[in-house]
A and B are shown apart, each in its own frame.
Chain A
Amino acid sequence: MAYKAALRVWRGDHGQGELADYTVEVNEGEVVLDVLHRLQATQAGDLAIRWNCKAGKCGSCSMEINGRPRLACMTRMSTFTEEEVLTITPLRTFPVIRDLVTDVSFNYAKAREIPSFTPDPSIGLGEFRMQQVDVERSQEFRKCIECYLCQNTCHVIRDHPENEDQFAGPRFLMRIAELEMHPADTADRREIAQDDFGLGYCNITKCCTEVCPEGIKITDNALIPLKERVVGRKYDPLVWLGSKISRRPRGADTPRVPDKQS
């Protein structure tokens, strides 16, 4: 059952490095992360890999395997033929720290810009009443394990780092959708979704959905409905009239973007 696989693994740091060739034993039923661990334990003790649960639940071991963004722990070696050379490289969109480990702090910065869950403060502990059908939309998005494969894949930032300021990426646009669809949330993030988080940059090519290891329908269930809500707000004649006659300043129901540092 066991065979020797040829691996080409990116080694290096701070923008400098190269693909290094290794031959590593593979046993039946193994995943790419097993083989990388064997490489680490036997030939390259200092090979930097980020991983945790090895069960597809924490989203740490994101990397590119033969050019495709994947979780190493959920990619079975049987996906490839025994003769195939596996080229394993770090996520391309984020700066390399060392070997297969990248600096994903961009994502944590974006997470902190999105106005948090805002329930009605008069609801006491244990008094929320929500129906299962109403929470299911948010629940789908909360399956997200924050592996950032969608962020890495989305061409809006993968090919255009200059968009990073204006574009939060699929994961965090989905977070906005999750809060928008939460039955107990009272804030309105539609305006900032468009103006601050770059929803308009998304041209629904569904690349994010395709790489999601949790099978979340990011484009169909989060991004497109969010676009519809934003449009609905912008062109709703009542909203337009309200903004003309109300004494409330425009966007009073729209929370400001917290913690926008730059």
Chain B
Amino acid sequence: MTDIERPEIERLPYDVVVVGAGGSGLRAAIEARLAGKKTAIISKSLFGKAHTVMAEGGCAAAMGNMNPNDNWMVHFRDTMRGGKFLNNPRMAELHAKEAPDRVYELEAWGAVFDRTPEGKISQRNFGGHEYPRLAHVGDRTGLEMIRTLQQKVVAMQQEDAVSHGDPEAMIKVYAETTVTRLIKDGDGKIAGAFGYIRESGQFVVFEAPAVILATGGIGKTFKVTSNSWEYTGDGHALALLAGARLLNMEFVQFHPTHMVWPISVRGLLVTESVRGDGGILKNSEGKRYMFNYVPDVFRAQYAETEEEADRWYTDPDHNRRPPELLPRDEVARANNAEVKAGRGSPHGGVFLDIASRRTPEEILKRLPSMYHQFKELADVDITKEPMEVGPAQHYVMGGVEVDPDTAESCVPGLFAAGEVSGGMHGSNRLGGNSLSDLLVFGRRAGLGAAEYIGRLGPKLPVPDEGEIAAAQAEALAPLERPSGENPYTVHAEVQDTMSSLVGIIRTEDEIKAALAELDKLGERAAAVSAAGGSAYNPGWHLALDMRNIMLMARCVAEAALERQESRGGHTRDDYPGMRPDWRKINIICGLDGDTITLTRQPTPAMRDDLIALFDRNELKKYLSEEEMAALPPEAALPPEAAPPPEAALPPEAATDALPTEATAPAAAATEETH
């Protein structure tokens, strides 16, 4: 029981409420405020600390500063390939077209990117990107982005101080504030959001006709993760509870390189830039093994010998890419397979070697944070010795189903952008496409929300008082429960269950075992209690987050059981290989009472002009025979939509057979996982 006196629930009227203050949340809020909307930014942490700061490598945008052959069509193709053609093509198109302007905008707001000799924004190589494409600042690009957006918000507040006499008149940040429920009106339209202010425990209702979810991912559902404590799937769960639908939650990205030792930093990210800048993966036998793991769909684009791979760094136009730069799902499975085959490093990882490849000066200049991180936390000097790395949960491709152009969900007034939204990345996200996603769709969500309010007219939705009372009772329950289990214990068990049974390699038996375990854990999670009061009480906060963590664990497990194939961030040992029929299906999670429902929904069709950007021989690897037969004749396509010459596949690709189970991408890894 708590004896704290509870003041009235505070009511705060806004036009737009943005839940989340990372890259997409801030970009959405900036756009909403530019559209003249009074905007609140709800930040679970302090302003400027969001998980976006963890992004290291860069922001993908086809500016063509390093290679003039790059353009939005090449970026679009790379994104679709990376996502194994399950991406929403319209989202991938908008993303590829708009990313350059979003990066230039950051520069105009004060971001200081690394430069080319001509003084333009420098771009670096990354997995799955055909050309150097990632705008970057050393290996701390996410920090640069969050600081720039933060400072842009401040700049707008300074303008408002002049024009309105109050810096917070039009845009205000509610730091260390958590939303626990979305509130609707009697008609099912969004009418606001209920939450608490961490410092005081004060309950608040943000009364607003439009809510933008920008809460990031679900990493804390897993044990070994690069995600921070905030990543408890809040936005995913809020959307589900408000009646929205989640798309393809089975696709979870396990990034291939994280620190594996010391144990306490297991899961700490080692940026892909190490590989982009020349780093290679080796096993305990000293063998550069990635050449063994190039799947057929990518065979044409990747080098077959070490010599060719090494020439590529200086002569990319005449050599193919090193296989270390395959998309993340491929590299993660390869690393996993090497360890399982007994060729791992002493602490259960593999070796990532930059020391023998680049000079200490180059390493310090291009990878300062990595140097710092290994030196301080593991006593390893990466300019002299290799790093020990292994896969960890990093990102979720699945998320709220939204309209590509406006970011609106199926609930009127509810929008989602960034990691919490689904569709953009298909079954696997390319490195560097996250920061650009945040900017492109953050902006579109801000615009979408502003336009929605315009359409709504003067009659605003009124929050349902019953929903507010229920939200308050739900939030107080863990404090008022006289006895109950420690939320930290239950959380740790959920993470163990998900990491060991629904992790990087999955089987039907294990997923079913996980679901049975989650049934029991769900009951325990619903009965946890928190000692102490409501002011800055982490035990209480975790008790409240448990609802979301449990929902996300269930969604991932159920969707993973449903999809009987291996694709991108979903590898089924019992169903190896991609199946063209499954490419046509999105798995949708909904909520019926307390039960998660699954629906199979056809994937959106790709427009003919986008289809035309791909070579037929490549499409054959992803599309079913019926789909291939239904394609428009090639001659009918407008000439400007034809693939540019640099995309033409080498001749051997033309003789590739249709993918079979044995040649499909997961096969190489799964053979060795028993």
Contacts and interface: CB of A to CB of B under 8 A. Distances in A.
Interface string A91-113: 00000011101011000100110
Contacts of B373: 55-56
Interface in B119-141: 119-120, 122, 137-138, 140
B432 to A, nearest CB: 18
B264 A116 contact: no
B48 A40 contact: no
Contacts of B330: none
**Which residue, B147, B175, B264, B373, has most C-beta atoms of chain A within 10 A?**
B264
A76 B265 CA distance: 11
**Which residue, B140, B265, B487, B538, has most C-beta atoms of chain A within 10 A?**
B538
Interface in B244-282: 261-265, 268-269
A138 interface: yes
A28 interface: yes
A138 B147 CA distance: 13
B209 to A, nearest CB: 28
A60 B49 contact: yes
Contacts of A29: 261-265, 377-378
Interface in B150-187: 151, 154-155, 157-158, 161-162, 167, 175
28 contacts: A41-B488, A45-B532, A46-B530, A46-B538, A46-B540, A47-B538, A49-B538, A50-B45, A53-B53, A53-B228, A76-B377, A116-B155, A117-B109, A117-B110, A125-B101, A128-B107, A128-B108, A132-B117, A132-B122, A135-B113, A135-B114, A135-B115, A142-B112, A142-B144, A143-B140, A143-B143, A145-B143, A146-B48
B123 to A, nearest CB: 13
B112 A138 contact: yes
A52 B45 contact: yes
Given A40-B488, A51-B229, A142 B377 contact: no
A54 interface: yes
**Which residue, B117, B167, B489, has most C-beta atoms of chain A within 10 A?**
B167
Contacts of A196: none
A119 B151 CA distance: 14
A74 interface: yes
Contact of B531 (A45, A56, A59, A128): A45
B110 A116 contact: yes
Nearest to B65: A126
B617 interface: no
Contacts of A59: 49
A112 B118 contact: no
B230 to A, nearest CB: 7
Q: Which 7 A-B pairs have the closest CB atoms?
A: A29-B262, A46-B532, A45-B539, A117-B110, A129-B119, A116-B155, A41-B488
Interface in A182-204: 182
Nearest to A42: B488
A51 B142 CA distance: 18
Interface residues of A, number: 61
B84 interface: no
A56 B372 contact: yes
Interface string B39-75: 0000001111101011000000001000000000000
Nearest to B107: A128
A149 to B, nearest CB: 14
For chain B, the bracket of interface size reads: 35 or more
A56 B228 CA distance: 12
B112 A125 contact: no
Contacts of B109: 117
A42 B531 CA distance: 12
Interface in A30-65: 30-31, 34, 40-42, 45-60
B535 interface: yes
A135 B107 CA distance: 12
Interface in B510-560: 530-533, 535-540
Nearest to B147: A142
A27 B263 contact: yes
Contacts of B369: 57
A13 interface: yes
B126 to A, nearest CB: 19
A259 interface: yes
B120 A129 contact: yes
Interface in B370-429: 372-373, 376-378
Given A41-B486, A142-B147, A258-B158, A119 B108 contact: yes
B151 A131 contact: no
Contact of B108 (A45, A125, A138, A259): A125
A125 to B, nearest CB: 4
A130 interface: yes
Contact of B228 (A54, A126, A130, A143): A54
B269 A55 contact: yes
Contacts of B538: 40, 45-49
Given A116-B154, A129-B120, 10 more contacts: A45-B532, A52-B49, A54-B265, A56-B372, A76-B377, A116-B110, A126-B101, A128-B108, A131-B119, A179-B110
Contacts of A56: 372-373, 376
B53 A58 contact: yes
A48 B537 contact: yes
Contacts of A30: 262-264
B15 to A, nearest CB: 22
Nearest to A45: B539
Nearest to B539: A45
A31 B377 contact: yes
